Structure 1
Amino acid sequence: MTSQQQNYVGGAWTDSDTGETFESTDPTAPDEVVAEYQHSDESDVAAAVDAAAGAREEWANTPAPQRGAILREAASELADRKEELTELLTREEGKTHAEAGGEVQRAIDIFYYYAEKTRDLGGTRKSASGGGTDLYTVSQPVGVAALVTPWNYPIAIPAWKLAPALAAGNTAVLKPAEDAPGTALAIVGALDEAGLPDGVANVVTGFGDVGAALVEHDDVDLVSFTGSAEVGHEVYETATADGKRAQCEMGGKNATVVAESAAVEEAADIVANGAFGVTGQACTACSRAIVHESVHDEFVEAVVARAEAIDVGPGDEYDMGPQVSESELQGTLDYVDVAQEEGATLETGGGKPEGDRFGDGYYVEPTVFTDVESDYRIAQEEVFGPVLAVVEVSDFEEALATANDSQYGLSASVVTADHGEAERFVTEVEAGVAKVNAKTTGLELHVPFGGFKQSSTETWREQGDAGLDFYTIDRTVYDAF
């Protein structure tokens, strides 16, 4: 029997005012409904924001270590449900069991991390120029946070927004993406079990109009968004026009440079893992391999072999799962057609795999293109599927220029045995994350994360101490005694 999930508003599980629901389905078998969720509207958003605003003062005045204790208990609740949440994430989003389990564990770790960071909150003390004055700062929460999150990391991204917001003393309303909202609801369920006061965290499910109403609400003080560049820039303009503090992290067209000195087999492993992991549905996925001409042919042979060795199928048994929806699958297949029309050579993949196990699932083969020019759409636009464009270059100078030849600047990596090249790369690449001899995907939770150019509003970073900075504001105190 399909479960029907409710919104979480003011400490209670509630139905939407619309009385309507929508379904999430299994991308491996689209006819199978995973769960029904509330089809919320503006009135539901208003109720959630009212609840958050009403809880704001009491939560802000709760000692930070007490807030941390609740986050710690919520992390423990999530850990107890890890296997259940892993299965839910796999069924709604399509990740393999291993990938989903890793993401659930990351959410757990994030809550534990920010639970401990609450002990460090407070401010700083400085020396005044003259005597007789205590000079110090006091960090305080900003207010009500609107959090709008995507489907591709449906528990990790809500966690890395919600945990620092609550740790810093803000209240929040979360709107998860409609394709896979189940694990986001599980987070607030864990917080509820941990004793979070009513109204501090709220979740409303629905579609884009719900997110828009949340961003526009007068009682929202700050907005954090992760999603597409097109929507993100609209969110930022709307939020800042109303004087709200805002951060938006958006798309990527991430490159790995394979230098002349690179160990080719290692480079192929790094690129393939970055390009085809999580079905390429990561904003940090490697979608461009920029390869020196002297190792180009050997690299292509190696990376094609890795693509063809990937066993595609349902996430509980195979190496790579489906795309999340029919529209995402069709978008990837459309880019395959565009690449060939532009003159790129399809080395492997490019279609839907055939066989009984695939049924009507949203599967696509890991795909590699060569003979790609940097101005091709396949090298400039975000595909968000397991598609790799290989661009051949003649030297490191050209490789670096090609890596920077993008409107995006989220993550980039270089594979090289030359330390001088590595130093130049991390200094000159136009990306918020730069890696040496490592894949473009994969992030540590205790350091800042964010992009450059169209990948980000370049206002505030997420995760680590930077994640707390967005959710706090300092008051400077001059105490003359």
Structure 2
Amino acid sequence: MTANYQNYVDGAWTDTEAAETFETTDPSAPDEVVATYQQSTVEDANTAVEAAAATQSEWANTPAPERGAILREAGSILADRKDRLTELLTREEGKTHAEAGGEVQRAIDIFYYYAEKTRDLGGSVKSASGPRTNLYTVSEPVGVTALITPWNYPIAIPAWKLAPALATGNAVVLNPASVAPGVALELFKALDEAGLPDGAANVVTGPGSTVGDAIITHDDVDAVSFTGSGEVGHMVYDKATDDGKRVQTELGGKNPTVVSDSADVEEAAEIVASGAFGVTGQACTACSRAIVHTDVYDEFVDAVVAEAESIEIGPGDEYDMGPQVTESELEGTLDYIDVAQKEGATLETGGGQPEGERFEDGYYVEPTVFSDVENDYRIAQEEVFGPVLAVIEVEDYEQGVEAANDVQYGLSASIVTDDHTEAERFVREVEAGVAKINAKTTGLELHVPFGGFKQSSSETWREQGDAGIDFYTIEKTVYDTF
């Protein structure tokens, strides 16, 4: 059954002024239409920003615990609909049922978390140098905020931008990626039913080059939060900062796991395979490089190949790994596989589209492992965004960290080791915003900061936890001698 979605602007579900729509399809069965959406225009985007601006003052002046109560109720509504949202996410984006369910639960938890954080919002009291002076700070919302989100975590990422923005009193406009926007729009259904004031949150679907550009450059927008590709993210950053807006960008990754000679090789292979092939490798924190000590290199290659070959591929409601989200994403992955072989890497397993009746229509690719990869190969330097792992051999720990850092990105990194000194050095020396010990590069806690170094981020503001609140608030210092 095909769903039909409208934009949500100023508390009402509306069609685009252009009366044009677009469709999404199931990546495991591309002939099946999942939903229809509004192909919005600049005028639609401007209307949404104007609605947010008109409501900004009222929403900012709403007591924070009252804002929190709305977020809490929205979270409860999402929880009641978890099964249906999980199915929608699986059909539209291609994740397995378990992965989709975990992502929906993450969105629910984020709404609950920031609902409770509203009770702690405020400023701080300081000691004044002179008599009869009260010295304190007041935390205020930044203002109207534009949110641009990607397709690979289509409910979790909108949730971790929306929830702290609304909790702190900012009115927002969201432009979700057109590949899989359905679950993001379901967030707005929950907020609407929870009693969110008209105009406090608005969502407009359509191409980022039109809708997204209009909202980030609108004069009434005060802050921009973007997650997506590096190329687009840098353009967003430049446009927004040129206008003096506060900007937060989270971009790509080329995430390594260093495997020490002291590591349990079977455990290391499980950790790396989970990080590399989970969510079909379509995560900015996915492990795409295993940097392995020469003493355990051959054993590790055999073990990680066995892990890859044990993965069952198919539609997300039944199998271990689903399809890539679109034909273009699949083609991009296959192109990188071809480049890796031409560069001289050894294809150990995978490398193509699986054969069989259930794979005839979907955008499937095999979990792929390359060995004999040099760190200057494109497969070791560029983000692939598919289930492709490059295995790189190093002589010692120092070479391992050097290789880990020798990329333009710095989002997530891990080490598998039984040596405490190596683990402590790795945390200090790796150039990444997330460092993990004996764990996969993917998977994030919602109450701690998330963000990258180098080209993985604007390196301005972090997301999630208290850092998420920091981006959406600004401090005012008060000297009271009344």
Range of TM-score over shorter length: over 0.9
Q: Secondary structure at the match of 1:25?
A: strand
* Deviation of the 1:137 alpha carbon: 0.2
Q: Distance in 1 between matches of 2:309 and 2:18?
A: 48
Q: Tell me, yes or no, if structure 1 residue 32 matches structure 2 residue 35.
A: no
Partner of 1:438: 439
Match of 1:93 in 2: 93
Give the letter for the 1:264 counterpart: V
SS at match of 2:17: coil
Q: Distance in 2 between matches of 1:323 and 1:104?
A: 19
Mapping for residues 3-152 of structure 1, pairs under 5 Å: 3-152=3-152
The separation in 2 between residues aligned to 1:92 and 1:218, in whole angstroms, is: 34
Deviation per CA, 1:326-356, whole angstroms, max 9, x where unpaired? 0000000000000000000000001000111
- Give the partner amino acid of 1:356: E
Q: What displacement does 1:3 show?
A: 2.2
State the alpha-carbon separation in 2 of the partners of residues 266 and 25 from structure 1. Answer: 37
SS of aligned partner of 1:101: helix
C-alpha separation between the residues in 1 aligned to 2:401 and 2:18? 53
Counterpart for residue 284 of structure 1:
285
Off by >6 Å, runs of 4+ in structure 1: none
User: Could you tell me how far apart the structure 2 residues matched to 1:473 and 1:277 are?
Assistant: 38
- Matching of residues 52-451 of structure 1 within 5 Å: 52-208=52-208, 209-451=210-452
Gaps of 5+ in 1: none
- Name the aligned partner's letter for residue 115 of structure 2: A
Deviations 1:174-199 (A, max 9, x none): 00000000000000100000000000
Q: Which position in structure 2 is the counterpart of 1:477?
A: 478
CA shift at 1:359, angstroms?
2.2
User: Which string of whole-angstrom CA distances, capped at 9 and with x for unpartnered residues, describes residues 38-97 of structure 1?
Assistant: 000100001100110011000000000000000000000000000000000000000000
Secondary structure, counterpart of 1:268 in structure 2:
helix
Runs of at least 5 residues in structure 2 that lack an aligned partner in the other structure: none
Task: Determine the C-alpha separation between the residues in 2 that align with 1:289 and 1:404.
Answer: 13
SS in structure 1 of the partner of residue 461 of structure 2: coil
Distance in 2, Cα, partners of 1:32 & 1:388: 31
How far did residue 357 of structure 1 move? 0.9
SS in 1 for 2:351: coil
Structure 1 residues 443-473: Cα deviation after superposition (integer angstroms, max 9, x where no partner) = 0000000000000000000000000000000
How far residue 114 of structure 1 moved from its aligned partner, in angstroms, is 0.1
Task: Report the number of matched residues.
Answer: 481
> Residues 201-245 of structure 1, C-alpha deviation per residue, up to 9 Å, x if partnerless?
000000122111111111110000000000000000000000000
Q: Secondary structure at the match of 2:111?
A: helix
Q: Matched residue of 1:467: which SS?
A: helix
AA paired with 2:339?
A: V
SS of residue matched to 1:174 = strand
Q: CA deviation at 1:129?
A: 1.2
Quote the Cα distance in structure 1 between the aligned partners of 2:4 and 2:269: 44
Query: Normalised by the size of structure 1, how large is the TM-score?
Result: 1.00
Could you tell me how far 1:130 is from its partner in structure 2? Answer: 1.6
In the alignment, residue 212 of structure 1 is paired with which amino acid? D
Report the alpha carbon displacement of residue 2 of structure 1 after superposing the two structures with TM.
2.1
Q: Report Cα offsets for 1:416-442 as digits up to 9, x if no partner.
A: 000000000000100000000000000
Residue 132 of structure 1 and its aligned partner are, at CA, apart by 1.0
Distance, in Å, in 2 between the alignment partners of 1:344 and 1:18 is: 50
Whole-angstrom distance in 1 between the partners of 2:73 and 2:334: 44
More displaced stretch, 108-117 vs 210-219: 210-219
The SS at the match of 1:146 is: strand
The separation in 2 between residues aligned to 1:420 and 1:18, in whole angstroms, is 62
Residue identity (%): 78
SS in 2 for 1:262: coil
| Superposition map of 1:457-468 within 5 A | 457-468=458-469
Q: State the alpha-carbon separation in 2 of the partners of residues 35 and 75 from structure 1.
A: 23
Q: TM-score, normalised by structure 2?
A: 0.99
